Structure 1
Amino acid sequence: MKYSTITIFGLGIILCISSCKNKNPNPILASIDLKRGELLLCSTEQFGDVNFSLSCNYETRETFDLALSLLHSFEYAEAEKAFVKVLDADPECAMAYWGVAMSIYNSLWMQSDLSYLKKGEQLLEIAKTLPATKLEKEYINAISVFYKDWDTKDKKTRKLLYENKMKELYNNNKTDVEVAVFYALAIRAAADPSDKTYTRQKKSGKILEELFIDKPNHPGIAHYIIHNYDYPELAQLGLSTARKYAEIAPASAHAQHMPSHIFTRLGLWQESINTNINSASSAVCYAESVNPGANWAQEIHAVDYLVYAYLQMGNNQKAQEYLNEMQNVKSVFPKQHFATTYALSAMPVRMILENKQWEEATKLDLPSINFTWETLHWEKAMHHFGKALGFAHTGEIELAENELTTLKTLHQKLLDEEELYKAGQVNIQVHAAQAWIELAKSNDEKALKLMKKAALLESQTSKHAVTPGELLPADELLGDMLLELNDPMEALKAYEINLLSHPNRFNGIYGAALAAKKSKDLDKAISYFKQLIELAKYSNSNREELIEAKTFIKNQNI
């Protein structure tokens, strides 16, 4: 798969700050692994506008603002390098240490390597010994509570402590844009993924929307609005911002990708495809500069969304092309990043399940890449869930039950590790897999009860920010089961509920059309089959569902 070429900008960039005073750095710095080197920015375009009031050397301010812009677009590695440039030029710039600590925090991302916590703690201890303004000291003290006692306090507790500190900072500095932006992000980072009221997301979004009026080119404001509204119930609120964000920070692979979170929630597949092609292209450029033999997590993350979008348009050919490329990935960076482990695990399972290739599902293998799979319980669960559904649909009940046993074991491991969100997702898969096994055993009533329970559990939790969506939505699977049980009217209800939270899903629309047809609801059958044809009109797809839809519409003489 060839991506469009982006000019490599930054291979020759050296941000030289020659007029800074010659100061001696803290000796502890020598023991801390800091990212240094040229900034590798794969575009001559910008990362948005920020303007941070800083007490450090005047000559460092442009570099500091660039670092802050990179941080706001989650270009964490380059942000750290830029902050370190400030630190090297002015070792007494306390906020440069703060900047590195913020760059390794990754507030909305899961991190399996916890070495960053000790690093952040050490940096902030140095920062506290340096001269700083009152506001700068408050910034440093705020993020310090996240790093303090990291080995005895859980991450959720530390996020809440940081949010409370930022609230104090915000209440005392209501007119400071950056304080407000970082406070809003802290609110969002501390949100409970099981809270379907989205109270924190709405609170954070309100702060940011008010800021966006006067600061329309600020990368963090736009970015965090999208993260707040990355839910089916809220996505429409973020659509206009999503369409602007990529223009604010066109040089950022993550900024190019982020609009697709909103596009995916709203079923705007072509817009998702367009922005993720740009994101993957930028990510490939960056990888060629940083680590030519490996794939960057941002590229893999973007391709995950590309595969999902192409599948929803019925375009198996394009989805398979991207999947094939990802299955040839041998090395990734950062190593074992959650966006990478999730995507490489989910894509092959998703491709097979979306096409209901049950025999193929029984042959699924884990990706060959050298991850520590024994620690990746959710990722492994997706694999075993796919196989369980495959064996259940092909009538190999004993093998299906073996997969179910593995799923239950993985669920328990996640509970033991207090990974409650991930455990909840696997629990949904446990119920769904068991439901289809019971159906294969002709235990219809028990099967339906389990599948309804899976749908209920899924309705009570939110989609994780990294994922484009479930492997198969539980309400969609419930509709499929109700059709199997010859109850098309109830199946239609399940599919329509599913389409409210998963608009324009190919299988959801097809299922609704088929259920309506079998329910003798001609108007709805015509409407849904037309939607399916419209959805795939640019895909040159040969999926059987589309052939059926076109034949049905033709026979209606429409």
Structure 2
Amino acid sequence: MRALALRTVSLIALAALGSVFTKPAAIAQDGADDQFGKVHFQTSCNEVAQRRFDRGMRYQHSFWYRPAKEIFEETLKADPECAIAYWGIALSLLSNPHFPAPKENLAEGLAVLQKAKAIGAKSERERDYIDALLAFYLGDEKVSFGQRVQGYLKATEALAARYPDDDEAQIAYAITLNVAASPNDKTYANQLKGAAILEPIFKRQPRHPGVAHYLIHLYDYPPIAEQGLDAAKRYAEIAPAAPHAQHMPSHIFTRVGYWNESIAANSRSARAAKEGKEPHEQLHAEDYLVYAHLQLAQDKEAREVVEDMIATKGYAPNVRTGPYAVAASQARYTVERGDWRGAAALKVEPSRFAYVDAITHFARALGAARSGDPDAARADIAKLSELRDKLQQDKDTYWAGIVDIQQQVATAWLLNAQGKHAEALDAMRVAADAEDKTEKSIVTPGPLAPARELYGTMLLERGMATEALAAFEGTLRKEPNRFGAAIGAAQAADKAGDAAKARQHYAKIVDMARNGDPGRQDLAAARKFMAKN
């Protein structure tokens, strides 16, 4: 039934793409735009401008910024006095609100908001929207992204309070709660507050793309991910022609281990993004696609996607999504399969983002340590320390912490290679505890390998099977159906003499990876075990 539904959505998406991508997005007809959901944002602009503005918001709510910006510009041609259209342009220039926009976008966005102020919106409500967005844009380069977000959060909170019956104000506040949430808050207070705002709106506006989209973001955390399944299953149907709408359900599918559904969603998204000439969106979907294929031991399919990503050109180097996806997918392909020599040989492609470069150095360090080249491991570990320090100097606390965990993990495996096993285990435990206290970024489906899973591997290698089983099962509670954690749990249970748990985990692997690569040794071992038992 689920497969039939996915095929149906795929056909709808392809049909929609055929109509949308044959004409410029900014002048697309309303009939085609039905494939982007339904949004009405009341303005004081003339009738033609109002229709165009609503169309721009449909694109904006699915994070399709380029055509959204074009449509808001077309809105101004229909009504040069439509000041709120400048607000729409500035909103599109923020790109994904969860990440800092390029500096040039900040300058342009501030300029268009100043134009909006100079023209003067015709309604107090529109003036309040413009002032709220100015709270993000105001300030020089010394104002950090975090400070901008907190200022905007306060402004959207005030906007939502002032206009309690305005769904668009509530929606803006709800997604900003997620953007502003601390990755260390395991109560998920902001996220649950935002979801509580959006759930009633979803009932009133079941075809609003932003509501479904932002509910997925708000529930994109392991303990609460299942609450996002309804929005995940519906978003692709609400906006079948939007590449991001095809991809976003996979955030929830990844969190709950629905790998086939993630593959279907991201295949559609990557295809739509390629048709729409959106390489960043394509590469983001393909990174999730590689991750899902590897969890099903579909190595050949994963490799084909990686090669397509490497061949993709034309993405902006000042936007993190593309460089991150390309670096992560190549590193992921080696680490997930235990190809340690391949990981050690990865080529570093320097980017503008320290944490993107850190991905490759981490995979190289881990690969070198596990394949008998401690000198190479030390060199990459030193580079990780350097990149962490740079991120700290840039006050990028979150990514500095992530790179620090990578440095700890790589150091632990170097200690292990040097025979310092007790120190190595202590270092891995500390790294796993640190990773458990934070959250993954939305730019990635997950780490190259969870630190607790790697801790389990090290424990198993030291003959500590019972402790290893606990580590692997702890990983599976957070990351359901991960292949590496599941195979590790099966092996640990077998060595610990827990035949029932060994059968349970091996049976899950064999069923999950029934179309997996027969060359995967651990999958072959799982099949052999089940054949005997």
Shorter-chain TM-score: what band? over 0.9
Shift of the alpha carbon at 1:42? 13
Deviations, residues 254-273 of structure 1 (Å, cap 9, x unaligned)? 01000000000000000000
Shift of the alpha carbon at 1:124? 1.1
Shift of the alpha carbon at 1:89? 2.1
Task: Please give the alpha-carbon distance, in whole angstroms, between the structure 1 residues aligned to 2:306 and 2:49.
Answer: 44
Corresponding position: 1:92 with 2:81: yes
- Is the 1:387–1:400 contact (alpha carbons within 8 Å) kept by the matching residues of 2? yes
Match of 2:515, SS state, is coil
Task: Please give the alpha-carbon distance, in whole angstroms, between the structure 2 residues aligned to 1:99 and 1:206.
Answer: 26
Deviations, residues 132-153 of structure 1 (Å, cap 9, x unaligned)? 2011111011001111114232
What is aligned with 1:262?
A: 252
Task: Please give the alpha-carbon distance, in whole angstroms, between the structure 2 residues aligned to 1:254 and 1:374.
Answer: 24
Q: Counterpart amino acid of 1:439?
A: N
Task: Please give the alpha-carbon distance, in whole angstroms, between the structure 2 residues aligned to 1:518 and 1:499.
Answer: 19
TM-score of the pair, normalised by structure 2: 0.94
Shift of the alpha carbon at 1:41? 11
- Is the 2:317–2:351 contact (alpha carbons within 8 Å) kept by the matching residues of 1? no
What is aligned with 1:446?
A: 423
What is aligned with 1:246?
A: 236
What is aligned with 1:392?
A: 369
Shift of the alpha carbon at 1:54? 1.1
Distance 1:353 1:13, change over 3 A: closer
| Deviation larger for 100-109 or 303-312 | 100-109
Given candidates 400, 406, 410, the residue that maps to 1:433 is 410
What is aligned with 1:180?
A: 170
TM-score of the pair, normalised by structure 1: 0.90
Deviations, residues 474-521 of structure 1 (Å, cap 9, x unaligned)? 000000000111100000000000001111011110000000000000
Q: Counterpart amino acid of 1:128?
A: K
Q: Counterpart amino acid of 2:254?
A: T
Shift of the alpha carbon at 1:177? 1.1
What is aligned with 2:307?
A: 324
Shift of the alpha carbon at 1:112? 6.0
What is aligned with 2:357?
A: 380
Task: Please give the alpha-carbon distance, in whole angstroms, between the structure 1 residues aligned to 2:67 and 2:499.
Answer: 57
What is aligned with 1:312?
A: 295
Corresponding position: 1:424 with 2:407: no
- Report the aligned-residue RMSD: 1.9
Deviations, residues 90-118 of structure 1 (Å, cap 9, x unaligned)? 11101100100111112534246211111
Corresponding position: 1:349 with 2:331: yes
What is the correspondence of 1:395-406 to structure 2 with a 5 Å cutoff? 395-406=372-383
Corresponding position: 1:507 with 2:484: yes
List gaps (5 residues or longer) in structure 2: 1-9
What is aligned with 1:21?
A: none
Match of 2:276, SS state, is helix
Q: Counterpart amino acid of 1:65?
A: D
Q: Counterpart amino acid of 1:80?
A: K
Q: Counterpart amino acid of 2:285?
A: A
What is aligned with 1:282?
A: 272
Distance 1:98 1:205, change over 3 A: same
Tell me the number of residue pairs that the alignment of Structure 1 and Structure 2 aligns: 520
Task: Please give the alpha-carbon distance, in whole angstroms, between the structure 1 residues aligned to 2:334 and 2:509.
Answer: 20
More helix by share: 2
- Is the 1:50–1:218 contact (alpha carbons within 8 Å) kept by the matching residues of 2? yes
Distance 1:419 1:278, change over 3 A: same
Deviations, residues 174-213 of structure 1 (Å, cap 9, x unaligned)? 1111111111112222112232221111110110011111
List gaps (5 residues or longer) in structure 1: 16-36, 288-294, 368-372
- Is the 1:11–1:38 contact (alpha carbons within 8 Å) kept by the matching residues of 2? no
- Is the 1:8–1:43 contact (alpha carbons within 8 Å) kept by the matching residues of 2? no
Match of 1:9, SS state, is helix
What is aligned with 1:18?
A: none
What is aligned with 1:144?
A: 134
| Deviation larger for 56-65 or 71-80 | 56-65
Shift of the alpha carbon at 1:336? 3.7
Distance 1:41 1:481, change over 3 A: farther
Q: Counterpart amino acid of 2:55?
A: L
Task: Please give the alpha-carbon distance, in whole angstroms, between the structure 1 residues aligned to 2:390 and 2:227.
Answer: 37
Q: Counterpart amino acid of 1:343?
A: A
Corresponding position: 1:76 with 2:61: no
- Is the 1:435–1:448 contact (alpha carbons within 8 Å) kept by the matching residues of 2? yes
Given candidates 250, 270, 279, the residue that maps to 1:296 is 279
Match of 1:175, SS state, is coil
- Is the 1:196–1:462 contact (alpha carbons within 8 Å) kept by the matching residues of 2? no
Task: Please give the alpha-carbon distance, in whole angstroms, between the structure 1 residues aligned to 2:301 and 2:80.
Answer: 51
Task: Please give the alpha-carbon distance, in whole angstroms, between the structure 2 residues aligned to 1:43 and 1:379.
Answer: 37
Shift of the alpha carbon at 1:374? 5.5
- Is the 1:40–1:286 contact (alpha carbons within 8 Å) kept by the matching residues of 2? no
Q: Counterpart amino acid of 1:257?
A: H
